[in-house]
Amino acid sequence: KAGVTQTPRYLIKTRGQQVTLSCSPISGHRSVSWYQQTPGQGLQFLFEYFSETQRNKGNFPGRFSGRQFSNSRSEMNVSTLELGDSALYLCASSRGGGQGSYGYTFGSGTRLTVV
């Protein structure tokens, strides 16, 4: 069974630009959650998508947005990039409801560097 696929693995962007990151969950999983990991703040929850709907959002500015497609793949977008957005962005795949919904499988992450 394929794991969670995040693309790209690495990105370098300039301040003010925007970026889109992609996450393909495990087949059959309907929930995708996004987390930001930085040395200072650790792992912080960004948002969760389930069946194409955002179910939950963390404490991040509106520059951070996302969406989920009918095949459960998810994208997150960061507009007007700031230096502080440099981080490892991780997505987690889970069933999202029902039996076995407590399992969260993470992808390898996208390392974003803003210069």
Partner 1 sequence: GEDVEQSLFLSVREGDSSVINCTYTDSSSTYLYWYKQEPGAGLQLLTYIFSNMDMKQDQRLTVLLNKKDKHLSLRIADTQTGDSAIYFCAERGYSGAGSYQLTFGKGTKLSVIP
Give the footprint of partner 1 on this chain (CB under 8 A): 4, 6, 33, 35, 42-43, 45, 48, 50, 55-56, 58, 90, 92, 96-97, 101-109
Kindly tell me which of 18 and 51 has the beta carbon lying closer to partner 1: 51
Kindly tell me which of 5 and 79 has the beta carbon lying closer to partner 1: 5
Residues in a beta bridge with 57 = 47
Q: How far is the CB of 71 from partner 1 (least distance, A)?
A: 20
CB neighbour list of residue 62: distance below 8 Å, 6 or more residues apart: none
> Distance of CA 95 to CAs 37, 64, 85, 106, 110, Å?
23, 24, 29, 13, 22
Kindly tell me which of 58 and 79 has the beta carbon lying closer to partner 1: 58
